[in-house]
């Protein structure tokens, strides 16, 4: 199951982590966000133990969204060793995200 990231746990769960983190910035009212949600869940199961995959609700956690300049959602950031190594804006097929994850493992 995809992890739930928040402004409060982002530093310890994501930035201090040595593994690849895939973070889906989303909101309840966002149609494309709801469309990509099941894909994020599938990837989190497939990469369990290898990659941290989770979601952060931009309405509830505005600080992290502002910190990373998130202006369009869904926005998926790929963070490794505390740095953004890739990003994807908008809903895309699972294969696109899978390819990006593979390239950073």
In angstroms, rounded to a whole number, what is the distance separating the alpha carbons of residues 67 and 46?
A: 29
Number of independent structural domains in the chain: 1
Q: Which of 2, 22, 23, 33 is catalytic?
A: 33
- Tell me: the pLDDT tens digits for 7-37? 999 999 999 999 999 999 999 999 999 999 9
Query: Which sign does the torsion angle of CA 23, 42, 100, 13 carry?
Result: positive
CB-based burial label for 17 (10 Å; 0-12, 13-18, 19+):
middle
Q: Which of 14, 30, 40, 79 is catalytic?
A: 30
Please enumerate in sequence order all residues whose Cβ is within 8 A of that of 33, keeping only pairs 6 or more positions apart, or say none: 24, 26, 27, 73, 74, 91
Range of the domain at 33: 3-104
pLDDT at 66 (0 to 100): 97
CATH number for 35: 3.40.30.10
Residue 30 designated active-site: yes
- Contact between 58 and 26 under an 8 Å Cβ cutoff? The reply is yes
Q: Which candidate, 88, 7, 13, 85, places its Cα nearest to that of 43?
A: 88
In angstroms, rounded to a whole number, what is the distance separating the alpha carbons of residues 96 and 105?
A: 15
Flag whether pLDDT at 71 surpasses 90.
yes
Residue 103 designated active-site: no
Q: What is the pTM of this model?
A: 0.96
């Amino acid at each position: 199951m995809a992890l739930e990231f928040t402004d409060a746990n982002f530093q310890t769960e994501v930035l201090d982590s040595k593994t690849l983190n895939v973070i889906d910035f989303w909101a309840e009212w966002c149609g494309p966000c709801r469309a990509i949600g099941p894909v994020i869940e599938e990837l989190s199961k497939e990469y369990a133990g290898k990659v941290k995959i989770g979601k952060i609700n931009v309405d509830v956690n505005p600080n992290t969204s502002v910190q990373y300049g998130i202006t369009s959602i869904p926005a998926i950031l790929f963070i490794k060793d505390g740095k953004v190594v890739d990003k994807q804006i908008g809903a895309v097929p699972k294969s696109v995200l899978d390819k990006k994850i593979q390239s950073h493992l």
